[in-house]
Structure 1
Amino acid sequence: MGFGQHQTFYLRQQWLTKGLIEVDKNPRFFYEPDHFEVLGVGKNMAKSIRYWLGATKLVKEKRSIKTELHLTELGEAVFNYDRYVKSRFTLSILHYLLVTEKNEASTWFWFFNMFNERVFTKTLLYSQLEQWAKDTFEKDVSINSLKRDIDCLLQLYTKKSYTNQTPEDVIKSPFESLNLVQSTTEIHYIKTPLKHSLTGECLYITLLIYMNKYGVKEVGLNDLINEPELWGRVFNLGRDEIIDHLDKLQEKYGVIFTRTNRLDVVRIEQKVQWDEVLKSVYENEVLV
């Protein structure tokens, strides 16, 4: 169960970059007494930076004589190819990894995998998240903790107005650029589909991650649309959008999309490593 681990701070632009640079230099950086001063933030904000690095799977903890943080294979790729984490391609992969771990970012998992409404208010989010937490976890979670999570999630994904603000006041989240959640009125929000020129590559890589995680070689079309940790849920995509992407992935990556009267199945028969595809995209595609 993972609620409130962000210390109430949503991810800011440059935080991941700062963390990656320091961890690359010193795996013990976040355990050094002055690490928050080096980052130029308060102690709780430094804890938040460390949380976001781990929740997006850019770093992982290793324990030997002393506990250390090391860049993951994804972290190394991002560090080498998109160090300032500006590409929507990179952010789409980080988003996927963030919202598919129920026990590390529980509210994020619930919102993108279990919550069924496309249009909603904060009040609806609070009540339905509270019920899901009660039904899912044995340990009680305070309503205040759940509300802080919802507030943080919306701040992470929705674009904010920076009119008449000084540069020091601009605290943009990099995930805003994905446009997965939009504010339509003062109280209403809407989920919107992922859309950029490398969306297909993101879908292919995340499908490889999913298949590797669960040890499967095929996934039904209905599962891609409706099941947790797959495209329809995580990226707010509809049936027609998913089919359109599958048609293109068949041509580019040899994904096999078998359509029958009763069962439409997506297969990847050759063993493909998702990190190899990731590196290939970084090296051969124009990042967006």
Structure 2
Amino acid sequence: MKYTFSGHETFYCRHYWLKKGYDFLKEGNNFNDPDAVTKLGVGKNMVTSIRFWLRAFDIIEETKDNKFATDLGTNLFEDESWDPYLEDINSIWLLHYHLIKKGWASIYTLFFNKLKNGDKEFSNEKILRGLTYLTESAKQETPNVKTLDNDIRVFRSNYLQPRKSVNIEDEFNGLLQELHLFEEIGKKSLVVQNTDREDISIELFLYSILDRFEERNSISAEEIITSTNSPGKIFCMTEHGIIEKLKMIEEKYQGITFSENAGVRELQISKEYDKWNVLSGYYE
């Protein structure tokens, strides 16, 4: 996958932007329309940013001539669907999962899958060095320092409530701030918060497994904990929290068993489950 940086016009994703952008497109509008600024009620650069975040969060797909909603976009943001105004914390976790899995905004995919391996505390400089190293190792063109600095700043703003703000709405508008994935130490260092994630529902956790390990009937606990785009990586979960959720999945879903025999921990899925139906069961 080619790494991509920037595109957000240095704006982090506000809480209401995805629904606003989804409705804008559903009504037949185009982000390139001359009146897009008026209809969306934001500045020109913010129009570009909303378009970027819709794609980064896997809400829309774009071709040269068309833009259309993904299954995630339709299920989440239709007015009578799951949670169009993102009132449930699991909807925020779901969007976080798709942001990393999608890979359109590479800093998120690289950070959660690679940079945080074995580390908990990150300065801006450490993230910058890591992104530069990973890009060079993949033999891809390394963005200039300003581009990466902007990505890091927006990354932080998506997850962290600002220390000071002249606009009170900004203090509560960052889409991913409710997840409390990071603690800020000093002025620049982030500390990853690995917890049991009791606020993540069993349905969302199972969805992420069915999505990540599609068409697999046997999945080791180690894969669920440590593999690329796994629930353990994306949700920053402790091993204890993952094992507990696997046990709860076994209790709730017929045809799914979790075994711990001779040091081998494995999830077995003998019945076909549709990942979207699983999630729908939660929202219902």
- Which TM-score applies when normalising by structure 2? 0.89
**Alpha-carbon distance in structure 2 between the residues aligned to 1:151 and 1:240:** 32
Partner residue, 1:98: 99
The amino acid that maps onto 1:101 is K
Residue by residue, what CA displacement relative to the aligned partner does 1:28-47 show, whole Å, maximum 9, x if unpaired?
A: 43232211221111222111
How many percent of aligned residue pairs carry the same amino acid? 25
Deviation at 1:134, TM superposition (A): 0.9
Deviation at 1:233, TM superposition (A): 1.0
The amino acid that maps onto 1:140 is T
> Is the 8 Å Cα contact of residues 209 and 224 (structure 2) preserved in structure 1?
no
Deviation at 1:217, TM superposition (A): 2.6
Larger mean CA deviation between 254-263 and 268-277 belongs to 254-263
Partner residue, 1:148: 150
SS of the equivalent of 1:20 reads helix
**Alpha-carbon distance in structure 2 between the residues aligned to 1:55 and 1:169:** 21
Residue by residue, what CA displacement relative to the aligned partner does 1:206-247 show, whole Å, maximum 9, x if unpaired?
A: 1111122xx423221112111110122111112111111111
- CA pair 181-30 structure 1, distance change in 2 beyond 3 A: same
SS of the equivalent of 1:9 reads coil
SS of the equivalent of 1:5 reads coil
Residue by residue, what CA displacement relative to the aligned partner does 1:54-100 show, whole Å, maximum 9, x if unpaired?
A: 1111122256xxx2222222212212221112321111111111112
**Alpha-carbon distance in structure 1 between the residues aligned to 2:72 and 2:170:** 31
The amino acid that maps onto 2:219 is V
Partner residue, 1:286: none
Partner residue, 2:244: 244
**Alpha-carbon distance in structure 2 between the residues aligned to 1:182 and 1:147:** 20
The amino acid that maps onto 1:232 is G
The amino acid that maps onto 2:250 is Q
Deviation at 1:169, TM superposition (A): 5.5
Deviation at 1:249, TM superposition (A): 1.1
Deviation at 1:202, TM superposition (A): 1.8
The amino acid that maps onto 1:6 is H
**Alpha-carbon distance in structure 2 between the residues aligned to 1:260 and 1:2:** 43
Deviation at 1:108, TM superposition (A): 0.5
> Is the 8 Å Cα contact of residues 160 and 172 (structure 1) preserved in structure 2?
no
- Which TM-score applies when normalising by structure 1? 0.88
> Is the 8 Å Cα contact of residues 161 and 171 (structure 2) preserved in structure 1?
no
The amino acid that maps onto 1:130 is T
Deviation at 1:262, TM superposition (A): 4.0
**Alpha-carbon distance in structure 1 between the residues aligned to 2:82 and 2:130:** 39
> Is the 8 Å Cα contact of residues 99 and 109 (structure 1) preserved in structure 2?
yes
Partner residue, 1:221: 221
Larger mean CA deviation between 135-144 and 227-236 belongs to 135-144
SS of the equivalent of 1:23 reads helix
SS of the equivalent of 2:14 reads coil
**Alpha-carbon distance in structure 2 between the residues aligned to 1:239 and 1:206:** 16
> Is the 8 Å Cα contact of residues 86 and 174 (structure 1) preserved in structure 2?
no
Deviation at 1:135, TM superposition (A): 0.7
> Is the 8 Å Cα contact of residues 23 and 29 (structure 1) preserved in structure 2?
yes
Aligned 1:56-75 pairs, distance under 5 A: 56-62=57-63, 67-75=65-73
For these two proteins, the number of residue pairs brought into alignment is 275
The amino acid that maps onto 1:120 is F
SS of the equivalent of 1:219 reads strand
**Alpha-carbon distance in structure 2 between the residues aligned to 1:225 and 1:60:** 29
> Is the 8 Å Cα contact of residues 159 and 182 (structure 1) preserved in structure 2?
no
**Alpha-carbon distance in structure 2 between the residues aligned to 1:137 and 1:39:** 39
The amino acid that maps onto 1:29 is N
Deviation at 1:14, TM superposition (A): 0.9
Q: Does 1:24 align with 2:26?
A: yes
Partner residue, 2:126: 124
Partner residue, 1:108: 108
- CA pair 211-25 structure 1, distance change in 2 beyond 3 A: same
Structure 1 unaligned segments of length 5 or more: list them.
284-288
**Alpha-carbon distance in structure 1 between the residues aligned to 2:53 and 2:128:** 22
The amino acid that maps onto 1:17 is K
**Alpha-carbon distance in structure 2 between the residues aligned to 1:169 and 1:193:** 26
The amino acid that maps onto 1:153 is F
**Alpha-carbon distance in structure 1 between the residues aligned to 2:237 and 2:169:** 36
Partner residue, 2:261: 260
Partner residue, 2:12: 10
